[in-house]
Amino acid sequence: MRIREMEIPKRYHIKKTDKETLSQWFYLMVLGRALDDRAPNYLKQAIGWSYHAPYAGHDGIQLAIGRNFDRKTDHLFPYYRDLLTCISAGMSAEEIICNGISKDNDVAGGGRHMSNHFAKPEWNINNVSSCTGNHTLHAAGVARAMKRYKHKGVAISSHGESSVSEGYVYEAINGASNEQLPVIFVFQDNGYGISVPKADQTANRKVANNFSGLKNLRIIHCNGKDVFDSMNAITEAKEWSLKNQKPCIVQANCVRIHSHSNSDRHELYRDDMELNYVSEYDPLAKYRRMLLRYNRFTEKELQAIEEKAKQEVKEAHKKAMAAPDPTSNSIFDFVVPEPYNSVKYPDGTHKLDGPKKKMIEAINETLKDEFRHNPDTFIWGQDIANKEKGGIFNVSKGMQQEFGIERVFNAPIAEDFIMGTANGMTRFNKKIRVVVEGAEFADYFWPAMEQFVETSHDYWRSKGQFSPNVTVRLASGGYIGGGLYHSQTIEGALSTFPGVRIVYPSFADDAAGLLRTSMRSEGFTMFMEPKALYNSPIAATPVPDDFEVPFGKARIRREGMDLSVITYGNTSHMCLQAAEKLSLEHGFDIEVIDLRSLVPLDKETILNSVKKTGKVLIVHEDKVFSGFGAELSAIITEEAFEYLDGPVRRIGSTFTPVGFNRILEKATLPSLEKIEEGMRKLLNY
């Protein structure tokens, strides 16, 4: 039978389901609704819960998601309206209230994330973003890990129907379909994205049917307001997805009885008739009527259950109100996890002499070495592995042949999917280390920025409960005649986000050492590769087989007393050449510091050098205006002003795009001549 036409077995039925189960469901539904109805009171009393998206009207489907989730085997990604989902999955009323009023013992993340974003990472109830549907990519990623490790479980991604307007939701579903991943995408369809009706989102009212052309995908429609229809739909979706190892969409038709959230006023865009019929179809009231109509419970029995739920809420309220608030100085905890500690190379230098390796070889060999060292490593990206081709610049050449397609594989041309599934895959266990080529060129990383931001938040937002252990490699920078979209170097923009490390080597040995440290560390690292140096002899060095470079350790590549030049990436070599030239021609003694690591930054080495020379030139390839050098300049001015004998000057790109014509490129990017001139000016100041 074609999967679209398969019937949903009626496992649950008002007349057949055992009384104990019906009783549990009623209790959970009443408990959830009591909390949902009570939430606005906390705001009115200025206690908290200042964001509340009521779930009333989604009761059937949320009960069903939670009841079908198995914390031992599955991963659940609830969205900001999933209160009952989380209660049904086993979270307590106290845990819900502590999240609502942002207490330190909020199990989602100690009050760091917005209220109504319920989670319990310890149970695989993931702490997700407020960006609607952004966790679809994480669900696809963790499901990929389940498949790779032959684990029997499913990822359940829950969100509103308007989320399908987001491109990344398409990327997730397309990827799950293509890779045949056990993900259940639940669209809780209440007809609105805040005030925007479905008709303004997409032409198809049954938005799940927008995906009907995708292979390997089952689509189930159910009545999300009805307990039995929802239970039957989700139970079937999970069983089918597990058995067939394929994704399933469940579109559950719900009603939104209240406004989108406490900051919305639905009476501004919904008429009385609509407000009346949505409240008439209250799923909880319907379930209660059914229990009585079919003589499964007496009125007295139901009242007793309602009373018990009321009591639980009362007690939970008392405990939550007495729980501690987070302390202000805790904001600096869990920004980035502690990195791998290099015992053998504590300052990231070595004295090996011998044959030199090019940067491309150093990266390739380190990747392979780390893949041999850790069997839980994976790499993917566009162009990463197809026969003899290994990456756009062949950096990953030979990896698929050695480690197989399960660990080294191509990704679709969807940068956000690459990034988001990297984040998701590392949720499966802490041993996994993922490396991705974030984009063919750094210039194409921008579509992945929403997942970049997300990944930078995860560790902090979950109060250290989840660390995305991902290294993103990006072929960066110009000097190849690449024009606007093959010359960008984007570290200046990236460095404004806390929660991510950014490294930018200039030499082969540092590239190898930083990559090894990154792949052995917990956390999220951007590994910027100056692609013009991949095969350049000037970047080639001897590389110890086990070399490691700790984060936040700059390297003084040339010592001097007259001027400190702070640089990284492509311009390190120009600075060294210019310094050598001025030394030979004029006897100037110039110090050149290769930062290697931008975040964390080696302030100590920088400030010590400034104190010694009194003059500073900052050189990088990125734009001067708002480039990373602006931060360096500000730090030096603030912390070493009294040691300065001249202005801190910067050399970098002009505040223009990089033109394709070589004349335009040259005019834009820093060059040996521009740097030499900059050095002269400062030396003569």
Partner 1 sequence: MKKIGLIYSFNTNKTSQAAKKIGEQLGNAVVHVNVENITEKEFLKYDNMILGVATWFDGELPNYWDEFVPAIEDMKLKGKTVAIFGNGNQKGYPENFVDGIGILGKLLESRGARLVGFTSAKEYTFESSQALRGDEFCGLALDFENEASKVNGKIKKWAEQLKKEFD
Q: By rule CB under 8 A, what count of residues binds partner 1?
A: 20
Residue (2 or 15) nearer to partner 1, CB: 15
What is the per-residue binding string for partner 1 in 558-597, x denoting contact by CB under 8 A?
A: ----------------------------------------
**Helix residue spans in 387-471 (DSSP H):** 399-403, 415-425, 449-461
Nearest approach, Cβ of residue 401 and partner 1 (Å): 50
Q: Rule CB under 8 A: which of 618-677 touch partner 1?
A: none
Q: Of these, 6, 19, 274, 294, which contacts partner 1 (CB under 8 A)? A: 294
**In contact, 561 and 589? CB cutoff 8 Å:** yes
Taking contact as CB under 8 A, which single stretch among the options 204-212, 381-389, 435-443, 591-599 is the one that binds partner 1? 204-212
Taking contact as CB under 8 A, which single stretch among the options 97-105, 287-295, 531-539, 547-555 is the one that binds partner 1? 287-295
- Side chain identity at residue 259, one-letter code: S
Q: Of these, 148, 151, 286, 368, which contacts partner 1 (CB under 8 A)? A: 286
d(CA 608, CA 642): 13
DSSP state of 10: -
Nearest approach, Cβ of residue 238 and partner 1 (Å): 23
**In contact, 51 and 261? CB cutoff 8 Å:** yes
The 10 Å Cβ neighbour count of residue 75 is: 28
Reduced to 3 states (helix: H, G, I; strand: E, B; else coil), residue 159 is strand
Residue (289 or 586) nearer to partner 1, CB: 289
d(CA 130, CA 118): 11
d(CA 260, CA 280): 18
C-alpha closest to that of 477 among 589, 570, 605, 568: 570
Q: Report CA torsion sign: 90, 93, 96, 102.
A: negative
Residue (293 or 387) nearer to partner 1, CB: 293
Nearest approach, Cβ of residue 253 and partner 1 (Å): 5
Q: Of these, 226, 312, 370, 376, which contacts partner 1 (CB under 8 A)? A: 226
- Residue 661 burial by CB count (10 A; 0-12/13-18/19+): exposed, middle or buried? exposed
Catalytic, out of 221, 317, 486, 573: 486
Reduced to 3 states (helix: H, G, I; strand: E, B; else coil), residue 470 is strand
Reduced to 3 states (helix: H, G, I; strand: E, B; else coil), residue 567 is strand
d(CA 599, CA 409): 29
Reply yes or no on whether 486 is catalytic: yes
Nearest approach, Cβ of residue 305 and partner 1 (Å): 20
Q: Tokens 């139901």 correspond to what residue? A: 302
Taking contact as CB under 8 A, which single stretch among the options 285-293, 343-351, 385-393, 665-673 is the one that binds partner 1? 285-293
What's the token pair of residue 356?
A: 């030199």
Residue (290 or 538) nearer to partner 1, CB: 290
Q: Rule CB under 8 A: which of 254-283 touch partner 1?
A: 255, 280-281
Nearest approach, Cβ of residue 43 and partner 1 (Å): 31
Q: Of these, 2, 72, 150, 293, which contacts partner 1 (CB under 8 A)? A: 293
Taking contact as CB under 8 A, which single stretch among the options 23-31, 218-226, 356-364, 472-480 is the one that binds partner 1? 218-226
Residue (204 or 577) nearer to partner 1, CB: 204
**In contact, 64 and 32? CB cutoff 8 Å:** no
Q: Which residues contact 656 (CB under 8 A, 6 or more apart)?
A: 668
Q: Of these, 290, 302, 323, 453, which contacts partner 1 (CB under 8 A)? A: 290
Nearest approach, Cβ of residue 206 and partner 1 (Å): 6
Residue (132 or 223) nearer to partner 1, CB: 223
> Bridge partners of 357?
541
Q: Interhelix angle for 283-293 vs 299-322, to 10°?
A: 140
d(CA 589, CA 573): 17
Nearest approach, Cβ of residue 15 and partner 1 (Å): 6
Q: Where are the beta strands (DSSP E) in 51-150?
A: 75-77
Maximum Cα–Cα distance for the chain, whole Å?
100
Nearest approach, Cβ of residue 221 and partner 1 (Å): 7
Reduced to 3 states (helix: H, G, I; strand: E, B; else coil), residue 220 is strand
Q: Rule CB under 8 A: which of 6-45 touch partner 1?
A: 13-15
Q: Rule CB under 8 A: which of 150-189 touch partner 1?
A: 189
Residue (205 or 373) nearer to partner 1, CB: 205
Q: Tokens 């380190």 correspond to what residue? A: 366
CA separation (Å) from 607 to 556, 616, 620?
13, 10, 18
C-alpha closest to that of 418 among 437, 446, 391: 437
Nearest approach, Cβ of residue 225 and partner 1 (Å): 8
d(CA 482, CA 480): 5
Alpha carbon 442 to its chain's center: 17
Taking contact as CB under 8 A, which single stretch among the options 284-292, 443-451, 458-466, 480-488 is the one that binds partner 1? 284-292
Q: Of these, 204, 216, 235, 279, which contacts partner 1 (CB under 8 A)? A: 204
Residue by residue, what is the 3-state secondary structure of 603-672? HHHHHHHHHHHCCEEEEEEEECCCCHHHHHHHHHHHHHHHHCCCCCEEEEECCCCCCCCHHHHHHHCCCH
Taking contact as CB under 8 A, which single stretch among the options 198-206, 298-306, 566-574, 633-641 is the one that binds partner 1? 198-206
Nearest approach, Cβ of residue 164 and partner 1 (Å): 14
Q: Of these, 221, 457, 461, 486, which contacts partner 1 (CB under 8 A)? A: 221
Nearest approach, Cβ of residue 27 and partner 1 (Å): 21
Residue (285 or 405) nearer to partner 1, CB: 285
Q: Which residues contact 637 (CB under 8 A, 6 or more apart)?
A: 644, 648
Residue (286 or 603) nearer to partner 1, CB: 286
Residue (45 or 295) nearer to partner 1, CB: 295
Q: Of these, 147, 148, 206, 368, which contacts partner 1 (CB under 8 A)? A: 206
Residue (17 or 50) nearer to partner 1, CB: 17
Contact call for residue 202 and partner 1 (CB under 8 A): no
Residues catalogued as catalytic: 486
Which residues would be at the binding site for partner 1 (CB under 8 A)?
13-15, 189, 204-206, 209, 221, 223, 226, 253, 255, 280-281, 286, 289-290, 293-294
